[in-house]
Amino acid sequence: MKKILFAASESVPFIKTGGLADVVGSLPKYFDKEKYDVRVMIPKYMCIKEDWRNQLTYRTHFYMDLNWRKEYVGILELEYEGIRFYFIDNEYYFSGPSPYGEIYADIEKFAFFSKAVLSALPLIDFRPDIIHCHDWQTGLIPVYLDNFRYGNEYYRGIKTVMTIHNLKFQGTWDAKRVQDITGLPPYYFAPDKLEAYQDANYLKGGIVYADRITTVSNSYAEEIKMPFYGEKLDGLMNARANSLSGIVNGIDYEAYDPAEDRYIARRYTVDTFRRDKVKNKMALQEEMNLERDHHRMMIGIVSRLTDQKGFDLIAYIMDELCQDAVQIVVLGTGEERYENMFRHFAWKYPDKVAANIFYSEPLSHKIYAGCDAFLMPSLFEPCGLSQLMSLRYGTVPIVRETGGLRDTVEPYNEYEKTGTGFSFANYNAHEMLGAIRYAEQIYYDKKRDWNKIAERAMKKDFSWGNSAKQYEKLYDQL
Ligand code: ADP
Ligand code: GLC
């Protein structure tokens, strides 16, 4: 039995700000239980819903040195859907209104978490063969592990995998400060180790010290070796190319299932969607106070409202797009200028645009189920889960050909009658509008073909099965 510990800053169903939580919380369920014991460790944030916090059982606690500080580390646990979750408790670090706050505070918070993960192991009776780290928040784990190994037999032989969900976020801060926070010897603060461009860089530390590095799609694994996507670490990605691979994300096919979904007005399957899916659109039109017209093409967006997701392209052509026979339903939060942009257009075109500037799991499901198309014109996209959810619900994605979007959405070919969505190549607003209008044309003039696209989309398999196998293989190689 191989023992694997996931360490991450978020996980469904407890706490989620983006796709990272979906992956960390759902992937462990899909490993072969006979051969892999996969457990998960995350912080016990105060902002985890009380319902969940009340279900955790206290396991033990200890005090840990963090350089000159001595910090309380509580360990709580919960078994959920067959997976054991551990929660690291410290009220000073994890009491904010959301998992992340100011970067200087997060730098200390996740130094604490990373060291606490390693320090907790001997007390929970679970010595992992592999620690699987996710994103910059856990980048210091392989570094601390390297440091721990010198003095402590227990840690020798534990391997690490570092998965990059987003290279844009690296966790960088002044090297002197980080040295003071972490208590790591000066030796680690060098350009071939933790340091990048004079600052300490957590993700870089993880990439340098991990035994294997993965990212969440094949295309992104290639892209980050180039300056445009490399976020100034493309040199390092090239240097570690032999240890780097892409494993595409899946989604939880039980949580996202149009045949079983409790949040949607009318459930449907690949056999009934032609008749029943539209009921969800009508319910959504009602709820969003849009014009009640079941013929109208409805385009959905569920997203963090940031530059990464291509919202400057959308802002640029919104007025033009709103001249077309479409409705647009947005659900998202993020940068104020994009929040206000959508509020503005919802005010200007009340029959056509609905702006929901908040976070809502139920509404996200209603959008995946109710819309005809889903727009995701990302500037870069390591994998993207929203387009996978759309495919699953027969909601045709319109995407830019980058990263995981390129790997998971096959562009429609009207001559060969293939494809599961629409796409465009260049980061250009009118190229995007061209793709949307092409989709409109198929939707309105060739409804049969449109339904075939939706059918192929629903039949695609992006459940975790396949990708979990690839992670298993990777673990076996270690
Ligand atoms: P990223 O991780 O870059 O934000 P992904 O596409 O991988 O992008 O994952 C986004 C996840 O967050 C999806 O599960 C999506 O449904 C969800 N999501 C994003 N914004 C919201 C929101 N405002 N309300 C509900 N769910 C949201
Ligand atoms: C990141 C990426 C997204 C990916 C998610 C889960 O947030 O932005 O593309 O799907 O992580 O891996």
Burial class of residue 316, CB neighbours in 10 A (0-12, 13-18, 19+): middle
Percent of the chain with pLDDT over 90: 99
Which of helix, strand or coil describes residue 448?
helix
Measured from the CB, is residue 74 less than 6 Å from ligand 1? no
Residue 362 preceded by cis peptide, ω within 30: no
> Which of the four pLDDT bands, split at 50, 70 and 90, describes residue 225?
very high
Q: How far is the CA of 49 from the centre of ligand 1 (A)?
A: 18
User: Rounded to the nearest 5°, which phi and psi values hold at 137?
Assistant: -60, -25
Interior angle at CA 29, CA 23 and CA 31, nearest 5: 100
User: Rounded to the nearest 5°, which phi and psi values hold at 175?
Assistant: -60, -40
Query: Which ligand 1 atom minimizes the distance to the CA of 304?
Result: 20
Predicted confidence (pLDDT) per residue in 380-393, tens digit? 999 999 999 999 99
Residue ranges of the domains in the chain? Answer: 2-250+465-477, 273-460
Measured from the CB, is residue 303 less than 6 Å from ligand 1? yes
Q: For the domain made up of 2-250+465-477, give the CATH fold.
A: Rossmann fold (3.40.50)
Best mutation site among 20, 304, 338, 376 for ligand 1, i.e. most ligand atoms within 8 A of its Cβ?
Answer: 304
Predicted confidence (pLDDT) per residue in 102-129, tens digit? 999 999 999 999 999 999 999 999 999 9
DSSP letter for each residue of 53-80: HTT-EEEEEEEEEETTEEEEEEEEEEEE
Q: How far is the CA of 237 from the centre of ligand 2 (A)?
A: 18
Predicted confidence (pLDDT) per residue in 342-364, tens digit? 999 999 999 999 999 999 999 99
Q: What is the mean pLDDT of residues 17-46?
A: 97
Predicted confidence (pLDDT) per residue in 291-313, tens digit? 999 999 999 999 999 999 999 99
Pair 292, 404: CB distance under 8 Å:
no
Q: Whose CA is nearest to atom 12 of ligand 2?
A: 165
Q: What is the mean pLDDT of residues 328-338?
A: 98
Query: Which ligand 2 atom minimizes the distance to the CA of 220?
Result: 9
| Tokens 């300056």 found at | 227
Three-state secondary structure string covering 232-248: CCHHHHHHCHHHEEECC
Going by C-alpha positions, the residue among 389, 402, 397 that lies closest to residue 453 is 397
Q: Whose CA is nearest to atom 17 of ligand 1?
A: 18
Q: Do domains 2-250+465-477 and 273-460 have the same CATH topology?
A: yes
Q: Whose CA is nearest to atom 7 of ligand 2?
A: 19
Q: For the domain made up of 273-460, give the CATH fold.
A: Rossmann fold (3.40.50)
Pair 270, 455: CB distance under 8 Å:
yes
Q: What is the pLDDT of residue 151?
A: 85
Q: Which residues does ligand 2 sit against, CB inside 6 Å?
A: 18-20, 23, 165-166, 216, 249, 381-385, 404
Gap between the Cα atoms of 258 and 397, Å rounded: 16
Query: Which ligand 2 atom minimizes the distance to the CA of 249?
Result: 12
Which of helix, strand or coil describes residue 375?
strand
Hey, what are 177's tokens? 């400060």
Measured from the CB, is residue 354 less than 6 Å from ligand 1? no
Q: How far is the CA of 301 from the centre of ligand 1 (A)?
A: 10
Gap between the Cα atoms of 195 and 408, Å rounded: 35
Measured from the CB, is residue 119 less than 6 Å from ligand 1? no
Q: What is the mean pLDDT of residues 320-328?
A: 98
Hey, what are 392's tokens? 């699953």
Percent of the chain with pLDDT over 70: 100
For 129, other C-beta atoms within 10 Å of its C-beta total: 16
pLDDT, the chain, mean: 98
Interior angle at CA 309, CA 303 and CA 312, nearest 5: 115
Measured from the CB, is residue 434 less than 6 Å from ligand 1? no
Q: How far is the CA of 359 from the centre of ligand 1 (A)?
A: 9
Q: Helix 140-151 to helix 103-124 angle, to the nearest 10 degrees?
A: 50
